[in-house]
Structures are given as structure tokens and as C-alpha cells.
Amino acid sequence: MKYISTRGDRTERRFCEILLEGLAPDGGLYLPLAYPKVDAATLARWRGLRYAELAFEILSLYIDDIPAADLKALVDKTYTAEVFGSEAIVPVRRLGDSGLMIEALSNGPTLAFKDMAMQLLGNLFEYELARRGEQLNILGATSGDTGSAAEYAMRGKKGVRVFMLSPHGRMSPFQQAQMFSLQDANIHNLAVEGVFDDAQDIVKAVSNDLAFKRQYKIGTVNSINWARLLAQVVYYFAGYFQATKDNSEQVSFCVPSGNFGNVCAGHVARMMGLPVKHLVVATNENDVLDEFFRTGSYRVRGSAETHETSSPSMDISKASNFERFVCDLLGRDGARVRTLFGETLAREGVFTLNAEERAHVADFGFQSGKSTHADRLSTIRSTWARFATLVDPHTADGVKVAAEHVEAGVPMIVLETALPTKFAATIREALGREPERPAVLAGLEALPKRFTVVPAQVDVVKAFVAEHCQD
């Protein structure tokens, strides 16, 4: 399997080459030359596999430069009941007779779906760096959950340092404490004076500085890293097998989305042949993606227009992974992608598909909807009252939008984003009580914190990385 850039660089690279990189040299994102196709016989063979076995089967289609025995050992080490709380790893439960199901993705170490991919990524990084005898400085940006998932996956890993950027003061107290309380020497938290998009822009700018990137061996764990997105493809197949009795059935997925990484993994699964009818994108008040699927226009917002909401992990107005879908939508026309995401967005802050391009969007099964603060409070209350199920604010956005798109005879699976305890203030507002918290995390917010506040300036972040990359 070889990989190329969304922006037209046709240089073919293997998996382990792009594993330790972020963006492609031309500023694009990596995609496989073609998606491997899964036929009915393969789906039948995969049904009933343990999660780790399923993950190995899917990853093997994309990774041919790690020996099969080694890859299997890495996957088996990652996906265990001890780490993820159950043998199913991602159990699916029904919400009564609503037609909705929730796929539990948040039972990992940091109580968020990002653990599903990040735990594997940590093991892949350690393996490949040891094989090369090299080190890696990971530069990432987080709106809340990516950071803690990455840091918990990488803490103590040999040859790896993490420099994680987050929007100063814009995460929940729990999310901040999860990250900033880590005292591991290889973990560095930088609180950026701005919004998530400012932090993400810095990561992209550093990744596009090829000389700096190579000198300081910069990699990324954000979902612009293909390996992380690939790991997420697995739970779409796992959810499908739990929600259906045989492979003649279709399902739909509703995915709370800000950066488009999670739902892009669903797009990949659908392109592979998983019987997915619709991929429903649920946004909060930062509705860039909903606006695109309604109008065909992708209009990024600046910091001043990016709302601070009660589902903060989705407070994003520049969806990095969206470029991968648009590349597929445009038939892998790298020049057109480069024009839209490079020149046009830089010049105008918006691009609009032409009529022919927009007509093809429906072919990929996407739908969308928007949820507000009032909506998520109402959904948290009703989901608790009707189904005795407590959901976090982001999952509530998904449940609200999913309910608007349910079709008779087609299971609708909502991808859980995080456990409610990470967003206690909103749960208190909705229900007047505290969400349950695992005993191991009692008093988390009171722990000593270690972080550095920095301005939203690329050069300042570069200087910090250069100073600390030999720690």
C-alpha cells in the first residue's frame, strides 16, 4: 500500500514513512492510492472477530511494511479489556425504541474516544522509533480530548516527547487537569492565547517548515496523521457488526464533529464497502461543516467568530481532515484541492463548489445538522429521563441531530465522544447533580499543574520546541 498527498504530490510513500510525519511536503494530507475493497465474503469472515482481531485484519490492508507478527502483537497489546473496560472494547447499546444506538468509545484511560486511536499510535511510534534508532518530537493541537489522549498514550514512551498546544482557558476544568497535572519529563503543555484554530494553524505552519521539521524531527498525533485516522476506521466495522444480524443490512452513523477526523474515518469505511447508508455530521454552534453540506460553501471563521460553547471539543472553525473528503469528492484532482485549500482559502476565507461538484456530495452519503446549548441541555435531560442513559454534551449534540435523521429499518449509531464526568458543569446545569466519576480520578482538578502560556505565534512555539527537544 502506497500513500500520496491530497494536493498533487504523487511521490509514493509507505505507511511507516508517513507514520512519523504530519502533513505531506506540499502541505497536503496523506491518502492511500486507493481504498482496499471489502467484499461480502470478507465481511462475513470478520463478523464475530474480537476487536483486536478485527483491527489487525483492517490495519493489515493498509500496512505492509511492518511484519504481520509484529503488527498483531502491537494490536493485541493495545486493545485489551484491562485498558478499555470490556471484552467488546466498543459495546453498542440501544436507546429504547428510538431507533438510536450509542457506540461506547470512551472507556479508555482519558474517558474520550480519542483513546481508541491514540493508544495504538503510541505503541506504533515506540515500535518504529526503536526499529530506526531515532527519536520524535510530537507537536499537536487539542480542543480538549486529543491532548490528554496523546499524552497518556505517549507518557514514558522511549524516544518520544510531546509538545501539546491548547486554547488557554477554553477547555473544561477536567480536561485541563487531565493534561496539565501530568509531570512526566517528556510531556510539555503549551496554553495558546487564542482559540483551537490558532493552535492548529501553528502546528500546520511548523509542519510546513520542512527544514525545522527535519532538524527537530517533528511529528504529529492530530488526525492529520493518517495512522490515527486509520485506527478509527476499525470501530465503524465493529459497530456495524453489533447493530446488524447479517451483512445485507445497512446502518447510518451520526458523528459529533469539529475537525472532521472522526467522521472521515467513517467515510473511509464506507469507501471500503461497509454498508453505511448515511454519515450524519453533527456540529455545535460552530457550524462550518453543517453550512457546507447545506450550501456547498466552506467558510472558515476567525478567532472572533469561533464561539465558546458547552461542547468545547467541537469549537473548531477549520476542519483539517475535511480536505481528505474533498479530495475524494473531486476525484483525487490534486491541483483543484491545492487551489481550494491553499490559494482560495488564504485569499478569500471561503470556497464554493461548482454545481457539478456539489451534485456529487450526495453520492458519499453525508447529511448534517446543528445543535445549540439549549438543545444539548434538553437532550441530556430527555436521554436520562427516557433511557436512564447519561451522555456528555458532545454526544448529546450527536443524539439530537441523529434523531432528526432516523429512517425506519436503518439503525442509527451515535458515536460517543466522552464520558459525562469530563463536563460536570453542563451536567449540573441540565440535571442539577454531579456526574459519576471513576474513583481513580477523584481530586484530579486539585493536583499540581505544569504548563506554559504562550502567545499565538509560530516563532515562540518553535523556540520552545528547540529549547526543550533535548530534555
Q: Taking the CB of residue 246, how many other CB atoms lie within 10 A of it? A: 9
φ and ψ at 438, to 5 degrees? Answer: -55, 140
Q: Is 114 annotated in the active site?
A: yes
Question: What type of residue sits at position 8?
Answer: G
| Contact status, residue 77 vs residue 69, Cβ threshold 8 Å | no
Q: How far is residue 126's CA from residue 220's CA, in Å, rounded to a whole number? A: 14
Q: Which residues contact 196 (CB under 8 A, 6 or more apart)?
A: 141, 142, 143, 166, 167, 170, 258, 306, 315, 316
| Contact status, residue 6 vs residue 323, Cβ threshold 8 Å | yes
| Contact status, residue 106 vs residue 242, Cβ threshold 8 Å | no
Q: Taking the CB of residue 293, how many other CB atoms lie within 10 A of it? A: 18
Q: How far is residue 471's CA from residue 468's CA, in Å, rounded to a whole number? A: 5
Report the DSSP beta bridge partners of residue 163.
139, 188
Report the DSSP beta bridge partners of residue 191.
166, 453
* Beta strands 366-370; 276-283: pairing state: parallel
Q: How far is residue 307's CA from residue 303's CA, in Å, rounded to a whole number? A: 8
234: Cα separation from own chain's centroid = 13
Identify how many contiguous H helices and E strands the chain contains and give both numbers: 21, 15
Spot the catalytic one: 72, 114, 213, 318.
114
Q: How far is residue 247's CA from residue 241's CA, in Å, rounded to a whole number? A: 8
Q: How far apart are the first and last CA of the chain?
A: 36
| Contact status, residue 350 vs residue 299, Cβ threshold 8 Å | yes
Inter-axis angle of helices 424-431 and 173-180, to 10 degrees?
160
| Residue 67 buriedness (CB in 10 A; 0-12 / 13-18 / 19+) | exposed
Consecutive H or E run containing 188: strand 187-193
φ and ψ at 291, to 5 degrees? Answer: -60, -40
Catalytic site residues?
A: 114
